[in-house]
Structure 1
Amino acid sequence: MARPATSELAADESATLELEVSSGAAELDRVVWWLTQSDVILDVSDVAGDSDTASIEIDGGCHTCQIEAWVIDDNNAYTAVNPWVFEASDAADNDDDTNEGNVAVRIQETNSPVTGGETLEVTAAIENTGSSEVTREVTLVVGNDPETVDSRMVTVPAGETVQLDLLFETYPVARDDEFPVRVEAGESTGERGVYVHGTES
């Protein structure tokens, strides 16, 4: 359970975020808080037992950035959740008369972790908060040395959200690897980290 329950955070306000976490297989160890588009680790919260509550104090964030929490247990098994995203203030929204600013991208989920050589699936939601239909090219970009690996043209009616899957055939690797994936639609971006298991794991 996440508190606040709403997924939207004001980009210019401070807040306390709480996340109830649990693990059925091993003892909990830590929660890593990551600000996606800025690619910044905000904090690391220690947790213990098979259930606990992690919290963090934030002082706003960048528009459309998501706060992603990595819940890690004693075996270094990893689960990612991203229950919050920063939205622009009402004043900023009113000043934006272009459809470009009315498109928001969120990564809903991935099938991470995968084994090297398997297909990574990234499910993204493209939201049109404007008053007219928009068409955007949606691209999947992977890696610290960014590489575009998939793209689709998507038309989103006014006030609606379209969900789509983007795919990346990962490379076989000997050791476990972690890298960012990013979904882009115009100026809007959603990002999160993924894991690939190595063949020697």
Structure 2
Amino acid sequence: MDAVVVADDGNTASRWEVTVADDGAAPPTVDATRPPTSELAADEPTTLELDILSATTELDRVVWWLTQSDVILDVSDISGTSDTASIQIDGGCHTCQIETWVIDEQNTYTAVNPWVFEGVDGAGSDDGGNEGAVVVTILDTNSPVTGGEVLEVTAAIENTGTAEVTRDVDLVVGDDPELVDSRTVTVPASGTKRFKLVFETYPVAQDDSFPVRVETEDSTDQRTVRAYGTET
């Protein structure tokens, strides 16, 4: 609780108290993204979708922003406490990201940027002609956990190509993305490799939910997880 004083030329003053509660309205969360891969072809039409949840307030809108071009692509109306927003795009600029702002009726928002446009005709690939796809998938988590406990994320990389691939894999958490764990995974041709990433959650007074993403240079998968508050 803070006391604030505003003076006018030193002659008059007003005083009021500001109280910040621990149980204020939580921002919306993104439960899933489609396509799950982080890479979008710069020269192909694609439909993008977000599954959105709100624990406390009604949803209002989603703003779709193309970052490096600084262009608002669209604004999608959403409603209720769960909804799906979508947009049809025709491609975009190489390395540009699409950032989305998910906003509720109280103007509380969550910003996520799950997609980036890659080069045309496989530009930038380092697989030496490996034909196929490399896709990362979150298989399971031990959510919910109590704040301060370790969150475990079990994921897998599927390699449908004709050559072995090696990928650096990152675990990114939060609406303000934070890299918390990483490892290098090698997957044989036409194979799948399971692995686990971990994150020691922060102690929280109230229940909280936040997104976790497993990312490679080819693909991203995301889930929303929950941490119980420590207040009794």
TM-score by length of 1: 0.51
Q: Pairwise CA RMSD of aligned residues?
A: 5.7
Question: Any conservation in 2 of the 1:105–1:127 contact (CA below 8 Å)?
Answer: yes
2:203: which partner in 1?
Answer: 172
Unpaired runs of at least 5, structure 2: 1-33
Aligned residue for 1:92? 122
Matched length: 186
Residue number among 94, 102, 106 corresponding to 2:136 in the alignment: 106
**Aligned CA distance change for structure 1 residues 115 and 64 (closer, same or farther; 3 Å):** farther
C-alpha distance in 1 between matches for 2:41 and 2:170: 27
Among 122, 127, 137, the alignment partner of 2:158 is: 127
Give CA-to-partner distance per residue, 1:70-116, whole Å, 9 cap, x none: 99988x9x9x9x8x997765x22697553799774534366466542
Please tell me whether residue 190 in structure 1 is matched to residue 224 in structure 2.
Answer: no
- 1:64–1:104 contact (8 Å) kept in structure 2: no
Give the unaligned 5+ runs of structure 1: none
Identity fraction in percent:
57
CA contact (8 A) 1:184 1:190 kept: yes
Most deviating of 96-105 and 51-60? 96-105
Displacement of 1:18: 6.0
The within-5 A match list for 1:40-189 is 45-48=76-79, 54-60=85-91, 91-92=121-122, 98=128, 104-108=134-138, 111=141, 114-142=145-173, 144=176, 146-147=178-179, 149-174=180-205, 181-185=212-216, 187-188=217-218
Change (3 A) 1:129 1:22: closer
Contact 2:135 2:159 survives alignment (8 Å): no
Are the structure 2 counterparts of residues 65 and 188 from structure 1 closer, same or farther at C-alpha, using a change threshold of 3 Å?
farther
1:60–1:175 distance in 2 versus 1, CA, 3 Å: farther
* CA distance in 1 between partners of 2:230 and 2:163 (Å): 48
Conserved in 2, the CA contact under 8 Å of 1:99 and 1:134? no
CA contact (8 A) 1:110 1:123 kept: yes
In structure 2, relative to structure 1, the CA distance for the partners of 1:151 and 1:17 (3 Å cut) is closer
Describe the SS at the equivalent of 2:185: strand
- After superposition, the C-alpha distances for 1:13-33 in whole angstroms (9 at most, x for unaligned) are 2344467x798x999625647
With structure 2 as the length reference, what TM-score do the two structures score? 0.46
* Structure of greater Rg: 2
* Structure 1 Cα separation of the partners of residues 146 and 188 of structure 2: 37
C-alpha distance in 2 between matches for 1:119 and 1:66: 31
Contact 1:133–1:155 under 8 Å retained in 2: yes
